[in-house]
Amino acid sequence: MEKFVIEGGRALKGEVKISGSKNATLPILAATLLTDGICEIRNAPKLQDTRTMCKLLKTLGKTVEMNGNQVTVSGSVHTHVADYKLVSTMRGSFCVLGPLLGKLGKAKVSMPGGCVIGVRPIDLHLKGIIALGARADFEAGNVIASAAKLKGTQMYLGGMFGSSVLATANVMMAAVLAHGETIIESAACEPEIEDLGNFLSALGANIEGHGTPRIVINGVKKLNGASYRIGADRIEAGTFLLMAGAAKSDMLIRDAHYNHLLVLIDKLHYVGVDVQKDGNDIRVRCKKTLRPANVVTHPHPGFPTDLQAQYMALMAITPGVSIVTDRVFPDRFMHIAELNRMGAQIRRDAGSAIIEGVKHLYGAPVMASDLRASAALVIAGLVAKGKTEIHRIYHLDRGYEDLDQKLIQLGAKVFREKE
């Protein structure tokens, strides 16, 4: 196990290139199960989650080769059983349910694991595939689904906390080989769903509306191989935007989709961070004292839950009182205790965090509880006085490609050390 050691208070300046989207890569890799053709996935981030999904594809019968940021997948699926040891470590791997069901007519997938950020039910996944004509049962911690032939239908896929990205992805992948037309109402609108839809279209699927609340899919008999480039990771880009604000930086964020981050950019403009579109890049400058602002997370195009912790780190050093409310994962606040160890003044009130900005944070040993909480601690460590040790950084390696190297290029003093 490794840790980050950060010597805080150093000025950050320069440019950083954003990697391919982790949250798009995982379902796109899962979608290769739908075809026997050769799929070349370009701009895939070199992450632990990417490697885990590739291992899972191999256990299902696929031939997988990773070469830098390209993943080539070929061959046929030999089994409908997804390995428990792999699925239990990463929630994103649960999206093999839809393509296995669509391709083989059956699937046995372990209940998903991943970051500890609160209850994340799979009811919408099951609702969707049952609407397509599948039978779904639970047995010894597994979801067992089967269908003689999936049939298109119209369904409403919204839930208590809005739409679900993974459920939408699973239903999309199950429906592309189903008989007839499928209409998904209240579908997730995240850019990762749009990326998945574009990849499925490249394979030969007949799909429209991906990236909107209404997706229409007309099933086809067979899909082909394709070469496809994954878009930039909006959460990584958002993390660097918030980092630039916290560290009062002048930063050029390359290969970032400005239009995917409008809600965050709007909030940053309000608090006093200058963010401008620069072609395919984003220029962010921050030299003045910021003012506090409340945020409430919602499914896209609302404020992303995956940037909630990082925004909290910014507000922790912003004078005044701000409130962060998470409507997607109301229990996603394990980072509060660790930020408070560094001198932050944050208290939780049900599904909200009340933050009283302090003048300085101070370096301390802290523990990463999940992927985005880890990123918040990195931001805090970069601006804190003294040395910060962040333990369990395997969370960071699941979602941020070469983060320590990117930070060093910006002028940070970061060391990766063995525990």
Query: What is the rounded average pLDDT of the residues 82-104?
Result: 89
- Token couple for 265: 């950019």
Q: Are residues 262 and 132 in the same domain?
A: no
Residue 115 annotated among the catalytic residues of the structure = yes
What SS3 class is residue 68? coil
pLDDT at 85: 82
- φ, ψ (nearest 5 deg) of residue 107: -155, 140
pLDDT of 92 > 80? The answer is no
> Residue 198 CB: number of other CB atoms within 10 A?
20
Nearest CA to 109 among 95, 130, 120, 123?
95
Q: Are residues 213 and 272 in the same domain?
A: no
Interatomic CA distance for residues 14 and 23, integer angstroms: 26
Bond prior to 45 in cis (omega within 30° of 0): no
DSSP state of 234: H
pLDDT bracket for residue 120 (50, 70, 90): low
Half-sphere exposure of 240 (CA within 13 A, CB side): 34
Q: Are residues 223 and 168 in the same domain?
A: yes
Domain count, the chain: 2
pLDDT bracket for residue 114 (50, 70, 90): very low
Query: What is the rounded average pLDDT of the residues 61-72?
Result: 98
Query: What is the rounded average pLDDT of the residues 353-364?
Result: 98
pTM: predicted TM-score of the whole model, two decimal places: 0.95
Query: What is the rounded average pLDDT of the residues 186-199?
Result: 98
Nearest CA to 357 among 389, 328, 323, 316?
316
Q: Which of 175, 200, 229 is the endpoint of a domain? A: 229
What does DSSP say about strands 214-218 and 106-110: parallel, antiparallel, or unpaired?
A: unpaired
Q: Name the least confident of 61-75, 197-211, 275-289.
A: 275-289
DSSP state of 111: P
pLDDT at 264: 98
pLDDT of 29 > 90? The answer is yes
Q: Are residues 220 and 245 in the same domain?
A: no
Q: Are residues 156 and 242 in the same domain?
A: no
Note the pLDDT tens digit of each residue in 397-406. Answer: 999 999 999 9
Starting at the edge strand found earlier in the chain, the sheet holding 39-42 runs 63-67, 70-74, 39-42, 226-229
Domain hosting residue 299, numbered range: 2-19+232-418
Q: Which of 213, 229, 245 is the endpoint of a domain? A: 229
Q: What is the CATH number of the domain that holds 364?
A: 3.65.10.10
Interatomic CA distance for residues 310 and 312, integer angstroms: 5
- φ, ψ (nearest 5 deg) of residue 135: -105, 135
Question: Of 39, 54, 95, 115, which residue is the catalytic one?
Answer: 115
Q: Which of 181, 202, 229 is the endpoint of a domain? A: 229
What does DSSP say about strands 413-418 and 2-7: parallel, antiparallel, or unpaired?
A: antiparallel
Distances (CA, A) of 166 to 49, 157, 211, 264: 15, 11, 13, 22
Query: What is the rounded average pLDDT of the residues 105-126?
Result: 74
Query: What is the rounded average pLDDT of the residues 149-169?
Result: 94
Q: Are residues 108 and 214 in the same domain?
A: yes
pLDDT at 141: 80
Interatomic CA distance for residues 75 and 299, integer angstroms: 36
Residue of 167 and 90 predicted with greater confidence: 167
Share of the chain above pLDDT 90, in %: 88
- Token couple for 167: 């459920």
Q: Are residues 56 and 201 in the same domain?
A: yes
Which amino acid is it at 256? A
Interatomic CA distance for residues 272 and 31, integer angstroms: 42
Q: Are residues 178 and 30 in the same domain?
A: yes
Q: Are residues 104 and 72 in the same domain?
A: yes
Nearest CA to 310 among 364, 365, 261, 259?
261
pLDDT at 117: 45
- Token couple for 254: 């390359």
Q: Are residues 342 and 305 in the same domain?
A: yes
Q: Are residues 292 and 396 in the same domain?
A: yes
